[in-house]
Structure 1
Amino acid sequence: MGYLFLALAIASEVVATTFLKFTSGEGVTFANRWWAYLVVVVGYILSFVMLSFTLTRGVPLGIAYAVWGGVGIVVVTVISWVVFKEFLTLVQLIGIVLVIGGVLLLELGGRR
């Protein structure tokens, strides 16, 4: 059950971080993008609540935070590349692979 809460924490953090894109740019004001700010605030609050539920269900803090951060970074980067057409270099793609590898090593290294 802890990993379900972790997945919800990651999903809400990814949504909140992605919607930060809609709060910036030329001509953007709070008045015309209030909905994006609302999604960001609610998403981050939900993410931290779900992360705390993860910890109360027995997932160690170091593992939960590493998975939450690492998966979030990779997913937001892929969304930025696919949806917002942001450019990724070969070095950045290698970095994504290394982040995925690091998260997998943390998760798999703790199992007995």
Structure 2
Amino acid sequence: MTWLFLTGAILTETTASLSLRMASRGGSRKWFLAVVTGFLAAFAFLTLALDGGMALGVAYGIWAATGVALAAISSRILFREPLTKVMGLGIALIATGVLLIELGAAH
């Protein structure tokens, strides 16, 4: 269940961040509601993952890194923001770092 909670934290945080982008463009109040709701849900899911026994370093590392990667890819698709080769390399390095943290926590 901890991985399911962590996935919920990642998806709701990314949704909240993308909604924040919409709200900053002069969007309606519904975008601000999505921002607040998304971030509250993200922290609630992260709390549940930690309460389920997931290590903080692992949970936070995966949550933050995956959120960065999803936000970059999603903003490219939704907002036509740049996603360069260098940014792709950065995402790959983030994924590698998170994998190393996960493997290190297993020992």
Equivalenced residues, count: 107
Please show how residues 1-112 of structure 1 align to structure 2 within 5 Å: 1-25=1-25, 28=26, 33-112=28-107
Percent of aligned pairs sharing the same letter = 37
User: How many angstroms apart in 2 are the aligned matches of 1:22 and 1:4?
Assistant: 27
Gaps of 5+ in 1: none
1:12-65 deviation line (CA, Å, top 9, x unaligned) = 00100011111113xx2xxx6100000000000000011011111000011100
After TM superposition, give the deviation of residue 90 of structure 1 in Å: 1.9
User: How many angstroms apart in 1 are the aligned matches of 2:68 and 2:31?
Assistant: 20
After TM superposition, give the deviation of residue 108 of structure 1 in Å: 2.2
Q: Look at both structures and tell me which one has the larger radius of gyration over its CA atoms.
A: 1
Secondary structure, aligned partner of 2:82: coil
User: How many angstroms apart in 2 are the aligned matches of 1:110 and 1:9?
Assistant: 20
Secondary structure, aligned partner of 1:83: helix
User: How many angstroms apart in 2 are the aligned matches of 1:73 and 1:55?
Assistant: 20
Where is the helix percentage greater, Structure 1 or Structure 2?
2
User: How many angstroms apart in 1 are the aligned matches of 2:83 and 2:69?
Assistant: 12
User: How many angstroms apart in 2 are the aligned matches of 1:20 and 1:33?
Assistant: 11
Gaps of 5+ in 2: none
Q: TM-score, normalised by structure 2?
A: 0.94
Q: TM-score, normalised by structure 1?
A: 0.90
List, as ranges, runs of 4+ consecutive aligned residues in structure 1 with deviation greater than 3 Å: none
